[in-house]
């Protein structure tokens, strides 16, 4: 069980973020294959980017076999505009090649009917599942499990919020979140953390003065105290004109 204080804190985070971000409904069910591709596209990117990339794969190729035999440049064109487009294209094609070598096809759906642990064990044989984010995405969207995917932007925001520290690994953090946030609110919570990480809790300097969570966030509070101390010190200093006298 998550500690009550962490559960309460994450509930408050959820409530405050919901006030700020009005989310469009997100995809809630995919096949296992689609969820793997979606997870690779979504990691460190936005929902909108991942939705658009998956739609381009479906519209731009005859089937997944055509993607498998395409050049990396062609696949890269689908994920263009995202960070590490080359790496994403390589991972997607690698997954499709491994899948074809193992099954001579592109249907993993029989796994969706097996107990989740058994399905995950089988899927972990594919390199794509070395990413905990992809594993969590597939668990949520294709295996009907409770999973809250955590990528680098989400990890950054959750660390600043004090939910994780520098030594907390992503699977452990995911465990904390999944124990604290019930399954029926998990998808929305994940989407809200993503919105936070791409809106105010950005890489580099976070935009805390604009953040809904500032009053409960240790980093936001520290930044506020630092800014106040700086302003106070500047006020106490003699002005340039005076010091030049
Ligand atoms: S207050 Fe600042 S550090 Fe905290 S979550 Fe908001 S943007 Fe991130």
- State in Å: Cα 202 to ligand 1 middle: 9
Are the beta carbons of 208 and 219 closer than 8 angstroms? yes
Q: Is residue 208 part of a domain?
A: no
Which protein residue has the closest C-alpha to ligand 1 atom 8?
201
pLDDT in tens, 81-94: 999 999 999 999 99
Q: What does the pLDDT read at residue 120?
A: 97
Tokens found for residue 24? 């469009």
pLDDT at position 18 is: 95
Q: Is 42 in the pocket of ligand 1 (CB under 6 A)?
A: no
Count of domains forming the chain? 1
Measure Cα distances from 143 to 10, 109, 113, 114, 123 in Å.
25, 9, 8, 9, 11
In a domain? residue 54:
yes
Query: Which ligand 1 atom lies nearest to the CA of residue 206?
Result: 7
Domain for residue 67, yes or no? yes
Give residue 110's domain range: 32-141
pLDDT in tens, 141-199: 999 999 999 999 999 999 999 999 999 999 999 999 999 999 999 999 999 999 999 99
Instruction: Say if 207 falls within a structural domain.
Output: no
Q: 83 C-alpha to center of ligand 1: Å? A: 23
Q: Identify whether 162 is part of a domain.
A: no
Looking up residue 109, the CATH number of its domain turns out to be 1.10.340.30
Taking the centre of ligand 1 as the mean of its atom positions, its distance from the CA of residue 204, in whole angstroms, is 12
Distance 207 CA to ligand 1 centre (A): 7
pLDDT score, position 235: 81
Q: Is residue 20 part of a domain?
A: no
Asked if 92 and 37 touch (Cβ cutoff 8 Å), the reply is yes
In this predicted structure, what is the pLDDT of residue 83? 95
Residue of 153, 193, 197, 200 to mutate, ligand 1, most atoms within 8 A of C-beta: 200
Q: Is residue 133 part of a domain?
A: yes
Measured in Å, residue 161 CA sits from the centre of ligand 1 at 7
The answer to whether residue 122 sits within a structural domain is yes
């Amino acid at each position: 069980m998550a500690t009550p204080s962490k559960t309460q804190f994450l509930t408050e985070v959820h409530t405050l973020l919901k006030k700020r971000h009005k989310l469009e409904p997100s995809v809630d069910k995919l096949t296992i294959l689609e969820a793997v591709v979606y997870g690779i596209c979504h990691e460190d990117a936005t929902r909108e980017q991942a939705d658009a990339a998956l739609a381009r794969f479906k519209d731009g190729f005859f089937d997944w076999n055509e993607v498998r035999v395409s050049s990396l440049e062609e696949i890269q064109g689908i994920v263009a505009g995202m960070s590490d487009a080359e790496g994403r294209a390589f991972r997607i094609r690698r997954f499709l090649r491994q899948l074809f070598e193992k099954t001579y096809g592109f249907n993993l759906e029989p796994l969706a009917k097996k107990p989740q642990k058994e399905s995950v064990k089988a899927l972990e044989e594919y390199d794509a599942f070395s990413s905990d984010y992809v594993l969590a995405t597939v668990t949520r969207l294709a295996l009907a499990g409770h999973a809250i995917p955590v990528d680098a932007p989400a990890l950054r925001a959750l660390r600043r919020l004090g939910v994780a520290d520098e030594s907390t690994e992503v699977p452990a953090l995911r465990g904390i979140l999944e124990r604290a946030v019930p399954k029926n609110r998990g998808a929305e919570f994940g989407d809200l953390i993503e919105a936070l990480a791409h809106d105010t809790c950005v890489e580099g300097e976070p935009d805390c003065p604009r953040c809904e969570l500032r009053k409960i966030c240790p980093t936001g509070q520290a930044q506020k105290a630092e800014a106040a101390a700086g302003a106070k010190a500047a006020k106490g200093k003699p002005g340039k004109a005076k010091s030049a006298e």
